[in-house]
Amino acid sequence: MQKRQLGNSDLNITSVGFGAWAIGGGGWEFGWGPQDDSISIEAIHRALELGINWIDTAAVYGCGHSEEVVAKALRNWSGERPYVFTKCVLRWDVNGKIFQNYSPESLRQECEDSLRRLNIDVIDLYQLHWPPDKDETLIDAAWEMMARFKEEGKVRWIGVSNFNIEQMKRAQKNCPITSLQPPYSLISRNIESEILPYCEEQNIGVIVYSPMASGLLAGAMTRERMENLPAEDWRLKWDEFKEPKITKNLELVEKLKVIGKKHNITTGEIAISWTLKHPAVTGAIVGARSAEQVDGVMKAKGLELNDDEIIALETHFS
C-alpha cells in the first residue's frame, strides 16, 4: 500500500490506518454499543495483514478499553509493530460521562496511563483530542507539556485533533505541530476552504477521521439498520442519521454504489478514496469492528475518480 510522510515527522504511513474508536465498545458517552474483544483483535490483525502500518486510538475510547484491546492485538502479532497513535485531554467519570482536563498534571497522568494500557515504551504520535471548550489560553501550558513528553522520549511526535487555524497558530508558537486530525467526508467538507490549505502550507500532516461518515457511507447502512442500532450507539443522536438529512445521505450512498460497481471496489472504498485525492490529506482513519469489515474498506489506495464522478459526488448537496 502507498505510504506518505506525515508532516514534519519521519513517519511514513500507509494511506489508510486502522481506527479503534468503535472497538472501545459501549458503556460510555460516545460508545458504539457492545463489542467482542476477540473479534476486534481479529479485525486489527487482518488490517495489519493487508499492510496497514498505523493504528489510531484514544484514551477516552471505551474509557481506556480501546487502548487495552490494541495492546492485546499487538501482543499476539508476530509481524512488525505498527505505529501507534493516541490522544489525551478527554477524561471520564464513573458513569462514562466525558469531560475535558487541560492541566499539565492531568496530561502527565494520561500519558503514563496510555503507555501502560498500550504496553509500549513510546507513543508514535500523541494528540490533543479536542481544543478547550472555552478558554483557549489553556492550549499554551498543555502544548508545552506535549513538547516535554517529546523531549523526554515518551512520545515521538505531537499533533492536534479538531483544532481550527487560530488554535493551531497558538500551539505553533511553542513547538511545531506534526499533524492535524479533522473530520472529513463527502458530507463534512468544511475544512477544504481554509484548514487544508493552511496545513499544506505549514507542512502539517492531515489524517482525516470518519471518511465514511461513521459508517453512513460504507454501503450497508439502511433505515432499517439505523432503527435497530443499540440504544447506546452515539450515532442515534447525530443529525446526519435523522431527517431531513438522512434521505439525502442515503441517496448519496446509492451514487457511491454505482461508482463502486463500475470500478469493482466497495462503496466505502469510494468514499475513502475521495478524501485521499486531496493533496493535503496524508491518510484516512478507517474504523472496522470485524475482519470482514476490514476486507470491505481497507484496501483504498486513492483511486483516481474521473471528472464526471467527482462532479456527481461533490454537487450532490448543491
Residues noted as catalytic = 61
3-state secondary structure of 267: helix
Angle at 191 (CA atoms; ends 185, 196), nearest 5 degrees: 110
- C-alpha span between 305 and 284 (Å, rounded): 17
C-alpha cell at 117: 494500557
3-state secondary structure of 210: coil
C-alpha cell at 306: 474521473
Contacts of 270 (CB under 8 A, 6+ apart): 256, 259, 260, 263, 303, 305
Which phi and psi (to 5°) does residue 46 adopt? -65, -40
The answer to whether the CB of 32 falls within 8 A of the CB of 25 is yes
- C-alpha span between 89 and 84 (Å, rounded): 18
The answer to whether the CB of 178 falls within 8 A of the CB of 163 is no
Contacts of 260 (CB under 8 A, 6+ apart): 219, 266, 267, 269, 270
Helix axes 104-118, 138-152, angle to 10 degrees: 40
Q: Is the peptide bond before 244 cis (omega within 30 degrees of 0)?
A: yes
- C-alpha span between 40 and 51 (Å, rounded): 17
- C-alpha span between 318 and 276 (Å, rounded): 22
* End-to-end Cα spacing for the chain: 34
Cell 439525502, located at residue: 248
